[in-house]
A and B are shown apart, each in its own frame.
Chain A
Amino acid sequence: MLEPLWLIPALPLAGFVILALGGTRLPRWAATLTGVGSVGASALLTLVTVVAFLGGLPDTKAYTRTVWTWFDVAGLSIGASFYIDALALTMMVVITGVGFLIHLYSVGYMAHDDGYSRFFAYMNLFVGAMLILVMADNLMLLYLGWEGVGACSYLLIGFWYRDPVNGYAARKAFVVTRVGDTAMAVALFLLFDQLGSLQIQELMRHAASVWTVGATLPTVVALLLLGGAVGKSAQLPLQTWLPDAMAGPTPVSALIHAATMVTAGVYLIARTHVLFDLAPVALTVVAVVGAATLLIAGFSGLCQKDIKRVLAYSTVSQIGYMFLALGVGAWAAAMFHFMIHAFFKALLFLGAGAVIHALGGEQDLSKMGGLRKELPLIYLVFLAGAASLSAIPLVTAGFYSKDMIIWEVFAATRGGTLLWAAALAGALLTSIYTFRMFFLCFEGPLVTPVTHRPGWTMTLPLAVLAIFSLGAGFLEIPHSLGGGVRLFSDFIQSALPPTALIHKREGYEVICQLAAAAAAIGGIALIWWLMLRAPQAGQALARRPAVAALSRFWLNGWGFDRLYDLLFERPYIFLAHIDRHDIVDGFFNLLARLASVLYAWAGATQTGRVRTYAAGLTVGAAALIAWVVWL
């Protein structure tokens, strides 16, 4: 059953080739069929693979299939080979499943766009590259997928190419992530130099046998890989590109900049967790980066005016949770939150897209409002997504995944109270910014009239995602809630080790859960009170000069953009500008000018007058004699 594994990435890639070659000549129905159908078929094949994989457990925990040899030079043999285990399958299910829903949604969302087939071509290419990334059995092929999704992200952020702002956002995304990618490439060079392979499983075995815990080399390698991960996953200090990436069409934001590509960093760290286990320092850095990012992005999310930028900062913040989980060794919790996050964040983005679509392209939250009665279905699914993001206890999937992280950050041997407090504060921030957005969008008076209503291709994916955003949490019900259901952990455990906990008592767990629940509900209550119950108080608070200044600072993402502009962008442009005529060329031209000046001088001596020549001869002879005599 696992033989046609290669078809899973090959189908979307074939879709890309057909769409790219067909271009605008392809009729619309054919473009739709190719674009959506290829990902749909890929999703079906993934499901079949999951069933076959579950049938093989627990005896066979991974399958490897080599399609061909990419290249083989001087001991470096790189195959186009796939490695499928529970971790890869989790990613594949989300990529193809959520990917298919988003493709279906795009049929309605992009229906009136000139670049309809170009859009699906890029989207298919993205899905193919992302599948290669997660299925690769070696770091080189992973890197191919890694850069491939980066290129697709660039192409899709700049999809509406006529606005230079979009082009800038696209190039920013590519260049900033490439800084991280380059660090990751150096990690590959170092790994091959030291361990003689790039095949992931072989590397992990070698690393564990030749490197000791805490040695320099694994730490350096892990930090370099982390460089790649923070770039792709928009974590500190390379987080600046993601909010601007919202320039792309909303389905792109849902698929690439929420559900799949931006979690590639999480996948990379989980995939190479053996290396990180050898480098406790690097793991601590991962946790600190995650905690800092989730707070910084959470504060920024509070103040955004654009609905998509709220969701973008929210994504940065939620991936911060995943990094925090990775950093304390809570591998399963990180992956569980990745999956649940993919559901509810895709839902929120697609819901926001439906709102934007309905309002004729309006993204400004201050021009929204009162949509509850106008778009009841969108209201309901958006509420489900917002509840799941805010982790409303018991009834939402977000609660189970986020609670798992918060608890393990507290209880894990690598965890700590400070990290736990950050996670808890983040939970409070999350519910505040989420429901601020929700209330601005759906409550109050109607501001902008509704012009479009979504068709079934848009509402069906929303409904499906809403069900998953609420229900998928029941895969994993903690003991303290009387469940002890561990379907996801048991599945992922075949690929990732369990978390080492110091606190095992359920009493702690219940307290932890109560605190998290209080943070979530308290946040909603607070923002409800400030916005709907006592709006005057809220407005008075917002008018306080300190609050206003802080909110401007957070609106601009803590000034990172301005800082990087000053530190890197301007100096680079300045250097390029002053040297645009190539100073080296100037030097050679100077030589040429010198030669022509000398030529003119020498030429000037040829006067044709005998007097001058005789004088020259006399002076020369005198000088010669003087030289001979006195020296």
Chain B
Amino acid sequence: MILIALIAIPLAGGVLAALLGRHHPGAARWTALAALGLDLILALAGLLPALTRPPQAGPWLIDLGLPWIPSLGIGFHLAADGLSVVLILLTLFLGIVAVACSWREIGERTGFFFFNLMWVLAGILGVFTALDLFLFYFFWELMMVPMFFLIILWGHENRIYAAIKFFLFTQIAGLLMLAAIIGLYFVHGRATGVYTFDYPALLGTRMPAGLGMALMLGFFVAFAVKLPAFPVHVWLPDAHTEAPTAGSVVLAGLLLKTGAYGLLRFVLPLFPEAARAFAPVAMTLAVAGILYGALLAFSQTDLKRLVAYTSVSHMGFVMLAVFAWNEMALQGALIQIICHGLSTGALFVIVGMLQERLHTRDLRRMGALWNQAPRLGGFAMLFALASLGLPGLGNFVGEFLILIGVFPQAPILTILAAAGLVAASIYSLWIVQQAFHGTAREQWRIRDLSGRETAILGVLTAAIVWLGVYPQPVIETARPALAHLRQAPDGAPAPAPEPVAVSGRQGEIDAQR
């Protein structure tokens, strides 16, 4: 029941915020904050104890299956394993950050704004826990519509173009996924006589290679658009740039992660052969995204657009890792998912704060702001360093685990991806230089961070430092879930991860002599 409550609380909180917000905008803010706070407490209290269960009890810490439309094999099946738990906590944490950073930014239709924000979050929570493919698709669509409103109603200058572009890309990709889901439903039904949308039942469905590839691609495109992977990333810079700060935080921190989650949860476990055959293509696209995103980030003059392109680069690492499909790379992908959410979220928050003060996002008009806002500058420096993968901050752990995990499988691609680290340092330091260092190009008079703003960035800093120096709790939480994902569909354990044993390498070394 706790999973239903986790999703229901933001839904109800959103409705309440909308009702209260008509006359008392302040009440809407506090309602949203209270609902998410309650949800977070509930998640911590309800999910963390479940982690101590013995591992032989299976990967699902909490499993809830209710009949929904039994005649079509649709069930209301929610479940959470370690992977879901980590992502749920990230969702609620960043949700609270998003509410906090909208505190003063949103002055119009406040109640409806928080309604949309809460419903996006509820949709995301549903995506991270749904185990029925029909239900998954339902939540997938649920998170899209309020996001569309967030962009088109509270966005910046070019919001209508951006919102429609966002909607078209995700909707077309979503329809491909729906077609693939229905295809899988019939393939499984014909083969076994059991027509169901239930994920555990669909695992291990046997199908001809060509059909498997087609269905896999249906899912892959949907998730690749969301991720976003090169070359279907083009909706992201517009959506990010035009969205209000909270929208960008949720987009970068969470919505993109549903794409990564989908690849992890569905594409590789449901279609192992097709995915393995497709892996070289996907990994090449991933590396292209890493390098292309980094180059494009450097070329932007709109700070928000710049940060948006860094997402393309960072999420390329995640896709690279997912298709390498070994334990090290997957753990790295998860850390990268979390840390990208934190660091890019923080950068968007910082851009929002700058825009609130300067009413521009144009890097060419900024400069020497450190002078007047050293605390803001210090935080910007820290998150820029996180974004370029400085050890001691979380992103490094993610990227390093990914690269060291992928290396044995694809050394050349790994080296190219590692070159992305150089490119990342170019654009990250460029942000700090253009905005905070150098000479003042215009005479700005701005104030440094307020208490609320310091608190938001302080909490994000604490999280990214914690993941940088002691990510082990996250690794432990996700380990059984990732191991289960990697098991072959018929239940046989997957082959041991390649790189560990020295003795296993002996043959190769001898061969070299």
- Interface residue? B327 (CB, 8 A): yes
A332 to B350, CA, bound (A): 50
Task: Please list 11 pairs of residues, one from A and one from B, whose beta carbons are closer than 8 Å in the complex, sorted by A's number.
Answer: A74-B331, A74-B497, A80-B469, A147-B391, A171-B430, A193-B408, A197-B502, A215-B512, A216-B512, A579-B296, A584-B231
Q: Does B21 contact A (CB under 8 A)?
A: no
Q: Which of B404, B421, B470 interacts with A68 by CB under 8 Å? A: B470
A148 interfacial by beta-carbon distance below 8 Å: yes
Given contacts A175-B425, A194-B505, A585-B234, contact A148 B392 (CB under 8 A): yes
Q: Which residues of A contact B (CB under 8 A)?
A: 20, 23-24, 68-76, 80, 118, 140, 143-144, 147-148, 151, 154-155, 158, 161-164, 167, 170-171, 174-175, 178-179, 181-182, 185-186, 188-190, 192-197, 206, 210-212, 215-217, 572, 575-577, 579-580, 582, 584-585, 587-588
Chain A residues, CB < 8 A from B381: 155
A182 touches B418 (CB 8 A): yes
A189-B414 in contact given A164-B439, A582-B296 (Cβ < 8 Å):
yes
Determine whether the beta carbon of B475 is less than 8 Å from that of A178. Answer: no
Q: Are A23 and B374 touching (Cβ within 8 A)?
A: yes
Query: Are B509 and A194 in contact, with the CB atoms below 8 A?
Result: yes
The chain A residue sitting closest to B403, CB to CB, is: A189
Are A162's CB and B408's CB within 8 A?
no
- B423's closest neighbor in chain A, by CB? A572
Q: How far apart are the CA atoms of A171 and B472 in the complex, in Å?
A: 33
A162–B438 touching, CB < 8 Å: yes
Closest-by-CB residue of B relative to A150 is B390
- Cβ contact within 8 Å between A20 and B233: no
B-side contacts of A195, CB under 8 Å: 502, 505
At the interface, yes or no: B500 with Cβ under 8 Å from chain A? yes
Check B512–A217 contact: CB distance below 8 A: yes
Are A151 and B299 in touch, CB under 8 angstroms? Answer: no
The A contact surface, by secondary structure, is helix
Produce 1/0 per residue, B380-393, CB < 8 A to A.
Answer: 01000100001110
Q: How far is the CA of A164 from the CA of B419 in the complex (A)?
A: 26
Closest B residue by C-beta to A172: B429
**Chain A residue nearest in CB terms to B335:** A71
Query: Complex: how many Å from CA A68 to CA B470?
Result: 9
Q: Are B422 and A210 in contact (CB under 8 A)?
A: no
Interface 0/1 of B396-413, CB less than 8 Å to A: 110011011101100100
- Contact for B505 among A196, A584, A587, CB less than 8 A: A196
Contact with A along B197-216 (1 / 0, CB 8 A): 00000000000000000000
Q: Which residues of B contact A217 (CB under 8 A)?
A: 509, 512
Given known pairs A73-B327, A148-B390, the reply for A167 and B422 (CB within 8 Å) is no
Does B436 make an interface contact (CB < 8 A)?
yes
Does B348 sit at the interface, judged by CB under 8 A?
no
B429 touches A143 (CB 8 A): no
Complex CA–CA separation, A175 to B294 (angstroms): 14
Q: What A residues does B401 contact at CB under 8 A?
A: 71, 73, 76
Given contacts A69-B472, A161-B438, A175-B425, A193 and B300 within 8 Å (CB-CB): no
With A71-B397, A584-B233 known as contacts, the answer to whether A579 contacts B385 (CB < 8 A) is: no
Question: What are the 8 closest A-B residue pairs judged by CB atoms, nearest first?
Answer: A75-B500, A576-B299, A144-B391, A161-B437, A580-B299, A189-B407, A74-B327, A585-B234
Give the CA-CA distance A192 to B406 in the complex, in Å.
Answer: 12
- B422 partner residues in chain A, CB cutoff 8 A: 175, 178-179, 182
Contact of A196 among B370, B425, B501 (CB under 8 A): B501
* A26 vs chain B, min Cβ distance (A): 13
Report if A158-B437 is in contact (Cβ < 8 Å); known contacts: A71-B472, A216-B512. yes
Residue of chain B at shortest CB distance from A215: B512
Q: Report the count of interface residues on B (CB-CB < 8 A).
A: 67
Residues of B within 8 A of A585 (CB): 234, 237
A188 to B471, CA, bound (A): 20
> Does B459 touch A at the CB level, under 8 Å?
no
Contacts of A143 in B (CB 8 A): 391
Residues on B with beta carbons closer than 8 Å to the beta carbon of A216 = 512
Taking a contact as CB atoms under 8 Å apart, the answer to whether B237 and A193 are in contact is no
- Nearest-CB distance from B272 to chain A (Å)? 19
A186 to chain B, nearest CB (A): 6
- Determine whether the beta carbon of A192 is less than 8 Å from that of B298: no
Q: 16 more A-B contacts (CB under 8 A) besides A162-B371, A576-B296?
A: A74-B328, A75-B500, A147-B391, A162-B439, A164-B439, A179-B422, A182-B422, A185-B421, A186-B414, A193-B407, A193-B505, A194-B505, A194-B509, A197-B502, A577-B299, A585-B237
Q: A174 to chain B: which residues have CB within 8 Å?
A: 425, 429
- Chain A residues, Cβ within 8 Å of B439: 162-164
Bound form: Cα–Cα A164–B433 in Å: 8
Contact partners of B296 in chain A: CB under 8 A: 576, 579-580, 582
Query: With A164-B438, A186-B418 in contact, do A23 and B375 touch (Cβ < 8 Å)?
Result: yes
Nearest-CB residue, chain A, relative to B509: A210
A76 and B328 in contact, given A70-B469, A171-B429, A193-B499 (Cβ under 8 angstroms):
yes
Q: How far is B509's CA from A217's CA once the two chains are assembled, in angstroms?
A: 9
- Which residues of chain B (216-236) have a CB below 8 Å from chain A? 230-231, 233-234
Any chain A CB within 8 A of the CB of B513? yes
| Bound-state Cα–Cα, A171 to B427, Å | 10
**B424 (CB) vs chain A CBs: closest residue:** A178
Interface residues of B in 126-157 (CB under 8 A from A): none
State whether B390 touches A24 (Cβ < 8 A): no
Residue B368 is within 8 A (CB to CB) of chain A in the complex = yes
Asked whether B426 is an interface residue with its Cβ less than 8 Å from the other chain, the reply is yes
Instruction: Indicate whether B415 reaches chain A with its CB closer than 8 angstroms.
Output: yes
- Distance in angstroms from B419 CB to nearest chain A CB is 6
Cα–Cα distance between A146 and B497 once the two chains are bound (Å): 29
Bound form: Cα–Cα A217–B378 in Å: 43
Contact check, B328 vs A73: say whether CB atoms are below 8 A apart: yes
- Across the interface, do B298 and A576 meet the contact criterion of CB distance under 8 Å? yes
Taking CB atoms, residues of chain A closer than 8 Å to B419 are 182
CB of B71 within 8 Å of the partner chain = no
B326 at the interface (CB under 8 A from A): yes
Contact B509 A178 (CB under 8 A): no
A91 CA / B397 CA spacing, docked (Å): 27
Contacts of B502 in A (CB 8 A): 195-197, 206, 210
Query: In angstroms, how far is the closest chain B Cβ from the Cβ of A266?
Result: 21
Name the A residues within 8 Å of B497 (CB-CB): 74-75
Closest-by-CB residue of A relative to B295 is A576
Interface: B56 (CB within 8 A)? no
Is there contact, CB below 8 Å, between B421 and A182? yes
Instruction: Report the bound CA distance from A585 to B233 in whole Å.
Output: 8
Q: Which residues of B contact A76 (CB under 8 A)?
A: 328, 401, 404
| Nearest CB of B to A104, in Å | 26
Who on chain B is nearest to A581 by CB?
A: B299
Indicate if the CB atoms of B404 and A188 lie closer than 8 Å.
Answer: yes
Give A474 to B470 CA distance when docked, in angstroms.
46
The answer to whether B378 and A161 touch across the interface, beta carbons within 8 angstroms, is no
Set of chain A residues within 8 Å of B408, measured between Cβ atoms:
193
Q: How far is the CA of A179 from the CA of B425 in the complex (A)?
A: 10
A522 to B296, CA, bound (A): 56
CB of B110, distance to nearest CB on chain A (Å): 33
Q: Select the residue from A158, A579, A582 with max chain B CB neighbours within 10 A.
A: A582
- Asked whether, in the complex, the Cβ of A575 is within 8 Å of the Cβ of B295, the reply is yes
**Is B506 part of the contact surface with A, judged by Cβ < 8 Å?**
yes
B residues 289-310 touching A (CB-CB < 8 Å) = 295-296, 298-301
CA distance A163 to B437 in the complex (A): 8
The CA-CA distance from A75 to B230 in the complex, in Å, is 32
Bound-complex Cα distance A193 to B406 (A): 10
Measured between C-beta atoms, what is the minimum distance from B363 to chain A in Å? 12
- List B contacts of A210 (CB < 8 A): 502, 506, 509
Instruction: With both chains docked as a complex, state the minimum distance between the C-beta of A48 and any C-beta of chain B, in angstroms.
Output: 26
Give the residues in chain B near A192, CB-CB below 8 Å.
404, 407, 499
Q: Which of B41-57 contact A (CB under 8 A)?
A: none
- Measured CB to CB, the nearest residue on chain A to B332 is A73
The answer to whether B300 and A580 touch across the interface, beta carbons within 8 angstroms, is yes
**A71-B475, A185-B403 given; A175·B426 CB < 8 A:** yes
Q: Distance (Å) between the CB of B1 and the closest chain A CB?
A: 34
